[in-house]
Structure 1
Amino acid sequence: MTLPSLPLALTQGDPAGIGPDVTIVAWAKRRELGLPPFILLGDPDVIASRANLLGIDVSLHICEPEDAASAFADALPVLPIPVGFEVQAGQPHVGAALATIKAIETAVSLTVEKRASAVVTNPIAKSVLYEAGFGFPGHTEFLADLAAKLTDTTVSPVMMIAGPKLRVVPVTIHIPVKDVPSALTEELIVRTCRIVAADLVEKFGIEAPRLAVAGLNPHAGEDGAIGTEDRDLIHPATIQLRKEGIDAFGPLPADTMFHDSARRRYDVAICMYHDQALIPAKALGFDDSVNVTLGLPFIRTSPDHGTAFGIAGQGIANESSLVAALKMAVQIAARQVKA
């Protein structure tokens, strides 16, 4: 694999969470893990304080992305985005929200400007950001808005959780379960699957992706006996997709889609709502699954876990998902360089 010449742009996430912890541990194990160079967008004081709390010796190198790759072997490259006050591990504070948002904005800008090869984001606490006036349901929607503004294009983001055993995509994401049936449309399902199929080809090198489409209701609706959405929305969507040459099949009963032999039949499971997708994904790959945003004009990955304030600074946070996110980002970037 030919590595991209540009570093990954890694955001700090909520500074009171485990983002700093897993970043420090991952960098400390960079050689044994074979990590690609990255530059951390965050507060050097937070990193120094957290490293001291974890008992890990970390040298910081304050720099621009252009100098990150050469510095990475000996120091953790940091592009400073100060929080403005002393952060306590495990104690989230609304005052850190602006720095968290700025780190994401900066990472996207650097990547769009071709100063970084991809965006990798550490976990944020949406409740903290909401308190500061953040107007997006989550990372995915915010990244799409930034992409649209910076590239002057229409962006339809799609969240995919990718692990060693399973890839899943929820068609609806951060909405109440009671609102899912009214939010689902045939057009939304078709558009989501088009984006997934295209990015599995372009970013993951799967020549003819197979999309297994889950039903919404128990037993995929029993032909309208247990809800009509599967018959009236999901089935017509799969027919349209097949007309377009996309190998999509369903609706399938969700309770029989995720055992070992079933998973061998497809490359990604398209699910109708958040937990229908994320429960099997996390059950099968909690420590090493990656959140990938498809449909963006740049690469974005993230660990598939939250801020875990309760264990921040205690030295027990697992860095595996961040490591997987960094490696997946550089693999996608390398594939696009080769192309």
Structure 2
Amino acid sequence: MEKIGITMGDPAGVGPEISVKALASNVDYLNNAIIFGSTSIINFYVNLLNLDYKVNSITKPSEFKSGYINVLNVMDLSFDDIKIGEVSPTAGAAAYKYVESAIQFSLNREIGPVVTAPLNKEALHLGGYNFDGHTEIFATLTNTKKYTMMLWSERLSVVHVSTHVALREACNRVKKDRVMECIELAHDALIKLGVTNPKIAVAGLNPHSGEAGLFGNEDMDEIVPAVNEKKAQGYNVEGPVPPDTVFLKASQGKYDIVVAMYHDQGHIPMKLLAFDSGVNVTLGLPIIRTSVDHGTAFDIAGKGIAKEESMLWAIKLGIQFSRNS
């Protein structure tokens, strides 16, 4: 198995805790994963959780030791430098540096998949890194132009035409070429996950998918031509399917994945059905990136009660992508 890089996220949030808990609960992951973060903070959580494992602080993957919680010490912050559960430019900058380091080692093929714990966007910006989130960091640092966010779970999976933009701007981004791009990325991702001839639904943008132009023209002018062209190319795709029923149909098995038109259209059903088990994947990158599908949870950080289920799923899916890429 390739070594897995886990970025511990914002050190003031739950990322360090769920990273440690995930490795402590699965010896195979423990013996094949490196946490990119701060040794002192990982030690804090090892002690908080009364774990028997020792921490091996390293500067490169070749220093890895089996049987330890291996931490590539990117920035050795401690809780003397930041406060648990609070937004901090220091923590935001550190979270970026963890990701930057893991991406570089993955591009150099010194590690395989990169699995990310959550960062805080306000802290990230205060730290001097004006990205909308992980997806945009990965795309920029890997020089990737065509990419999308996929949310995966056993019950429902979605990809997004747009994510972190204002709703008015999201409507403007519903364009034929972008919709076709997302259909292709969704299809290729599911093939790698072992789905034969994936059934893809493309959600409409407007109520009733525009009702033949009564409620907006984007569905007729942009989505229909995109779907028809991909059908002609042999893709198993339907749409635009009215957005108020498409996710129900997908969760019942009619479709393997839904192309959502904007952030909340895809995120709301996913978080309703799979809040603790959903995985965020960036498609189109030259490396593999998966992530938990939740935020930094500052309100419970440092209390030892954060759930690691989404992190375990993210690691599992990263390994699966790696084996089939």
TM-score normalised by the shorter chain: which range applies? over 0.9
How far did 1:52 drift? Answer: 2.7
Q: 1:178 aligns with which of 168, 173, 176?
A: 168
Structure 1 unaligned segments of length 5 or more: list them.
Answer: 149-153
Aligned equivalents of 1:224, 1:91: Cα separation in 2: 47
What is the letter of the counterpart of residue 98 of structure 1? A
Residue 31 of structure 2 is aligned to residue 41 of structure 1 = no
Residue 76 of structure 2 is aligned to residue 78 of structure 1 = no
> Given that residues 234 and 251 in structure 1 are in contact (C-alpha distance below 8 angstroms), is that contact kept between their aligned partners in structure 2?
yes
Question: Which residue pairs with 1:224 in the alignment?
Answer: 213
Aligned equivalents of 2:53, 2:39: Cα separation in 1: 11
> Given that residues 136 and 142 in structure 1 are in contact (C-alpha distance below 8 angstroms), is that contact kept between their aligned partners in structure 2?
yes
> Given that residues 9 and 107 in structure 1 are in contact (C-alpha distance below 8 angstroms), is that contact kept between their aligned partners in structure 2?
yes
Please give the residue correspondences for 1:148-167 in structure 2 after superposition, counting only pairs within 5 Å: 148=143, 154-167=144-157
Residue 185 of structure 2 is aligned to residue 190 of structure 1 = no
> What SS class does the counterpart of residue 244 from structure 2 fall into?
helix
> Given that residues 24 and 30 in structure 2 are in contact (C-alpha distance below 8 angstroms), is that contact kept between their aligned partners in structure 1?
no
Q: 2:9 aligns with which of 8, 13, 29?
A: 13
How far did 1:261 drift? Answer: 7.0
How far did 1:313 drift? Answer: 1.0
- CA change 1:319–1:185 in 2 (3 A) is same
Aligned equivalents of 1:83, 1:248: Cα separation in 2: 49
> What SS class does the counterpart of residue 295 from structure 2 fall into?
coil
- CA change 1:187–1:96 in 2 (3 A) is same
- CA change 1:36–1:278 in 2 (3 A) is farther
What stretches of structure 1 move > 4 A for 4+ residues in a row?
Answer: 33-36
> Given that residues 249 and 255 in structure 2 are in contact (C-alpha distance below 8 angstroms), is that contact kept between their aligned partners in structure 1?
no
Question: Which residue pairs with 1:213 in the alignment?
Answer: 202
Aligned equivalents of 2:83, 2:225: Cα separation in 1: 52
> Given that residues 17 and 92 in structure 1 are in contact (C-alpha distance below 8 angstroms), is that contact kept between their aligned partners in structure 2?
no
Q: Deviations over 1:27-83 (max 9, x none)?
A: 22124x866621001100011123333444441012332343xx34x2101110125
Question: Which residue pairs with 2:135 in the alignment?
Answer: 140
Question: Which residue pairs with 1:130 in the alignment?
Answer: 125
How far did 1:138 drift? Answer: 1.2
How far did 1:315 drift? Answer: 1.5
Q: 2:115 aligns with which of 96, 117, 120?
A: 120
Aligned equivalents of 2:109, 2:205: Cα separation in 1: 41
What is the letter of the counterpart of residue 325 of structure 1? A
Question: Which residue pairs with 1:151 in the alignment?
Answer: none
How far did 1:296 drift? Answer: 0.5
> What SS class does the counterpart of residue 20 from structure 1 fall into?
helix
Q: Percent same amino acid at aligned positions?
A: 37
> What SS class does the counterpart of residue 145 from structure 2 fall into?
coil
How far did 1:157 drift? Answer: 1.6
Question: Which residue pairs with 1:310 in the alignment?
Answer: 299
> Given that residues 18 and 307 in structure 2 are in contact (C-alpha distance below 8 angstroms), is that contact kept between their aligned partners in structure 1?
yes
Please give the residue correspondences for 1:45-124 in structure 2 after superposition, counting only pairs within 5 Å: 45-63=40-58, 64-68=60-64, 71-72=65-66, 74-85=67-78, 86=80, 87-124=82-119
TM (norm. structure 1) is: 0.90
Question: Which residue pairs with 1:27 in the alignment?
Answer: 23
Question: Which residue pairs with 1:283 in the alignment?
Answer: 272
How far did 1:199 drift? Answer: 2.7
Aligned equivalents of 1:88, 1:24: Cα separation in 2: 19
Deviation larger for 241-250 or 14-23: 241-250
> Given that residues 83 and 96 in structure 1 are in contact (C-alpha distance below 8 angstroms), is that contact kept between their aligned partners in structure 2?
no
How far did 1:254 drift? Answer: 1.1
Aligned equivalents of 2:111, 2:292: Cα separation in 1: 19
Aligned equivalents of 2:297, 2:102: Cα separation in 1: 23
> What SS class does the counterpart of residue 237 from structure 1 fall into?
helix
